[in-house]
């Protein structure tokens, strides 16, 4: 991702960080016919632009087709002749993620409705927020309140609450103060710290709330350098300790944009994409001094700022240039002997803890927009985590983007004022995979298949139908006893009764304690086999990716990480790694 700073006057804004609300929607296209190849998608854009479509590498089309057996057909025909109907996706509000979404949908052979649909769709893909459309069913790719929750001030508050409770667990976020209300506290704390350690020569970074792309950001050496009190009042901001010793690659500061899928809040399900982007500064880094404090190309990694530097290197190679894949950085670090497994596990921990900090308020937003029992869609969301690595490889959270840019092209100035859209293979490689795997993970048909999956409890003594009846009977009986339990489904006592009942039916001839023990063993074996299957799928994928990106497995742990006691974690068959607090 490339958070973009305020572009110099007269330059086209490059959107690579958070998509600012209200960015113009791209015109939608007719859905492709069966077997259609990715079409050219260039289009005219403002200021005398000459559209040039990102044709994409030829193997993209081949890959897309190769996933399916010849002659396979989906759609309504599929439904009529007994095969699965295709998943339907409303892309009419997708805005700048449209191109990457279209490619993903073609690869999956799902059905796109670029102008919306009168009948409900399975999935609604919004470019900005939950409220882009009124939706009462299906799934939407935004949570209500997410944009508000990840604004700089709200995020700082949420993380700070957790820092107060668990200072060691949350030491991945720089010390921050909220302006203007905490300005006196900021002054006092800095004075106190300087008094206790006269050798401490800090730098601070001031970031306007709600800003993106580096907009309005500046560095200071002393609280008294904060610009005009009047402007603080009109534009609240976060002031943060500046990380002076970041890890450098090729003598340049860089940050990491990682894509995280929040698949569900209840239960909490988090997936982390196995590859992301690294955005590079374009001037060699030096620790901040009064002289270099204003050199944005040295201190700010925003793509939209650095693209205007004469030193910006566009590269189609994921290992070079000013924007690279994160996996290429991991590879480089690994070749230098760095412990990238530990790094990856620290990143995972940072992501999970950040989402945990946001969860309570997100649930409040969720319940107010989609009250329990009222019709409404379920939500998922791709978040962009911006992370800086310290010299010792400790990851530090800079910010979270609710609408990370999913653009797979960038604008190139051919002659003054004339721009062309140029495909960006690095963006396409990472972002299409993120969207496609997100869709796979939220596939409503997969969910239906999973819901109806037979857990093989039945045998010749009893059928699955009789298990269902048992479940309904016992749940109803315990619920009618007026026992106060908030969760849907069975209370614990009812579960125990049902479990004993099933054990007696399944293992007729044994004494009760052996029946129960046998059923526990049976369930545990079944769950372990499920885990194993998932793990094998995940590994298969890592191996396949290895063919493309050597050393990839270094960065893509599929085994439990250091945070394992905090949350359960299982591997999935996608390029996401799955972290969830509950496992069914």
Question: Which residues contribute to the site for ligand ADP (CB under 6 A)?
Answer: 3, 17, 174, 205, 207, 211-215, 217, 240, 242-243, 255, 300-302, 386, 388, 398-399
Q: How far is the CB of 238 from ligand ADP (least distance, A)?
A: 8
Q: Which residue is nearest to ligand ADP (CB)?
A: 3
Q: How far is the CB of 251 from ligand ADP (least distance, A)?
A: 15
Q: How far is the CB of 160 from ligand ADP (least distance, A)?
A: 14
Q: Are 281 and 254 in contact (CB under 8 A)?
A: yes
Report the alpha-carbon distance of residue 312 to residue 303 in Å, rounded. Answer: 9
Q: Are 353 and 118 in contact (CB under 8 A)?
A: no
Q: Which is nearer to ligand ADP, 205 or 556 (CB)?
A: 205
Closest CA to 258 of 127, 150, 391, 397: 397
Report the alpha-carbon distance of residue 212 to residue 209 in Å, rounded. Answer: 9
3-state secondary structure of 365: helix
Q: How far is the CB of 291 from ligand ADP (least distance, A)?
A: 18
CA atoms within 13 A on the CB side of 52: 15
Q: How far is the CB of 151 from ligand ADP (least distance, A)?
A: 10
Contacts of 486 (CB under 8 A, 6+ apart): none
Q: Are 358 and 158 in contact (CB under 8 A)?
A: yes
Q: How far is the CB of 6 from ligand ADP (least distance, A)?
A: 9
Instruction: Give the number of other CB atoms < 10 A from CB of residue 131.
Output: 13
Q: Which is nearer to ligand ADP, 183 or 495 (CB)?
A: 183
Write the CA distances from 402 to 116, 152, 162, 296, integer angstroms: 23, 11, 20, 24
Q: Is 243 left (phi over 0), alpha (psi -120 to 50) or beta?
A: beta
Q: How far is the CB of 211 from ligand ADP (least distance, A)?
A: 5
Q: Which is nearer to ligand ADP, 243 or 333 (CB)?
A: 243
Instruction: Give the number of other CB atoms < 10 A from CB of residue 559.
Output: 10
Contacts of 405 (CB under 8 A, 6+ apart): 1, 2, 15, 16, 17, 18, 19, 96, 384
Q: Which is nearer to ligand ADP, 258 or 439 (CB)?
A: 258
Q: How far is the CB of 244 from ligand ADP (least distance, A)?
A: 8
Question: What are the structure tokens assigned to 525, written together?
Answer: 């074996």
Q: How far is the CB of 271 from ligand ADP (least distance, A)?
A: 22
Q: Which is nearer to ligand ADP, 243 or 265 (CB)?
A: 243
Q: How far is the CB of 358 from ligand ADP (least distance, A)?
A: 16
State residue 228 phi and psi, 5-degree precision: 10, 120
Q: Which is nearer to ligand ADP, 257 or 569 (CB)?
A: 257
Q: Which is nearer to ligand ADP, 274 or 279 (CB)?
A: 279
Q: Which is nearer to ligand ADP, 74 or 211 (CB)?
A: 211
Q: Which is nearer to ligand ADP, 129 or 405 (CB)?
A: 405
Question: What are the structure tokens assigned to 552, written together?
Answer: 């990839």
Q: Are 169 and 353 in contact (CB under 8 A)?
A: yes
Q: Which is nearer to ligand ADP, 159 or 439 (CB)?
A: 159
Contacts of 29 (CB under 8 A, 6+ apart): 39, 41, 102, 114
């Amino acid at each position: 991702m490339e958070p973009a700073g305020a572009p110099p006057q007269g330059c086209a804004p490059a959107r690579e960080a958070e998509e600012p609300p209200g960015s113009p929607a791209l015109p939608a296209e007719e859905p492709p016919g069966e077997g259609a190849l990715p079409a050219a998608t260039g289009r005219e854009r403002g200021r005398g632009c000459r559209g040039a479509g990102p044709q994409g590498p030829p193997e993209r089309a081949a890959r897309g087709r190769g996933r399916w057996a010849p002659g396979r057909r989906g759609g309504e025909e599929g439904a009529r002749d007994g095969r699965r109907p295709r998943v339907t996706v409303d892309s009419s509000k997708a805005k700048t993620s449209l191109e990457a979404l279209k490619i993903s949908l073609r690869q999956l052979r799902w059905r796109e409705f670029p102008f919306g649909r009168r009948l409900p769709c399975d999935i609604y893909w919004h470019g900005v927020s939950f409220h882009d459309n009124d939706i009462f069913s299906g799934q939407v790719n935004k949570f209500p309140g997410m944009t508000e929750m990840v604004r700089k001030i709200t995020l700082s508050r949420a993380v700070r609450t957790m820092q107060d409770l668990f200072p060691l667990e949350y030491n991945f976020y720089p010390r921050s103060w909220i302006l203007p209300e905490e300005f006196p506290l900021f002054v006092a704390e800095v004075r106190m710290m300087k008094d206790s350690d006269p050798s401490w020569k800090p730098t601070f970074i001031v970031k306007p709330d709600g800003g993106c792309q580096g907009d309005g950001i500046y560095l200071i050496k002393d609280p008294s350098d904060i610009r005009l009190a009047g402007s603080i009042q009109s534009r609240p901001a976060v002031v943060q300790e500046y990380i002076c010793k970041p890890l450098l690659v090729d003598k340049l500061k860089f940050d990491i944009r990682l894509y995280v899928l929040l698949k569900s809040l209840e239960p909490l399900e988090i997936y982390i994409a196995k590859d992301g982007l690294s955005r590079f500064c374009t001037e060699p880094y030096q620790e901040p001094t009064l002289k270099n404090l204003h050199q944005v190309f040295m201190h700010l990694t925003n793509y939209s700022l650095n693209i205007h530097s004469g030193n910006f290197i566009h590269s189609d190679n994921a290992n070079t240039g000013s924007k690279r894949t994160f996996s290429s950085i991991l590879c480089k670090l690994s070749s230098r002997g760095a412990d990238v497994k530990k790094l990856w596990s620290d990143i995972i921990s940072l992501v999970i803890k950040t989402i945990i900090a946001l969860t309570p308020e997100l649930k409040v937003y969720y319940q107010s927009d989609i009250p329990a029992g009222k019709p409404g869609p379920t939500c998922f969301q791709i978040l962009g985590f911006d992370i800086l690595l310290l010299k010792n490889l400790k990851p530090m959270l800079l910010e979270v983007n609710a609408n990370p840019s999913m653009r797979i092209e960038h604008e190139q100035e051919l002659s003054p004022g004339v721009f062309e859209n140029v495909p960006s293979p690095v963006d396409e490689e990472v972002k299409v995979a993120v969207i496609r795997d997100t869709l796979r993970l939220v596939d409503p048909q997969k969910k239906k298949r999973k819901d109806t999956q037979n857990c093989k409890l039945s045998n010749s003594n009893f059928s699955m139908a009789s298990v269902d009846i048992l479940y309904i009977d016992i749940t109803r009986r315990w619920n009618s006893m007026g026992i106060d339990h908030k969760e849907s489904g069975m209370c614990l006592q009812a579960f125990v009764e049902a479990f004993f009942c099933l054990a007696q039916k399944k293992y007729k001839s044994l004494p009760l304690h052996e029946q129960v023990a046998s059923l526990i063993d049976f369930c545990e074996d079944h769950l372990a086999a499920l885990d194993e299957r998932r793990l094998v799928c995940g590994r298969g994928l890592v191996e396949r990716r290895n063919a493309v990106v050597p050393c990839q497995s270094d960065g893509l742990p599929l085994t439990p990480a250091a945070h394992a006691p905090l949350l359960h974690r299982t591997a999935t068959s996608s390029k996401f790694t799955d972290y969830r607090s509950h496992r069914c």
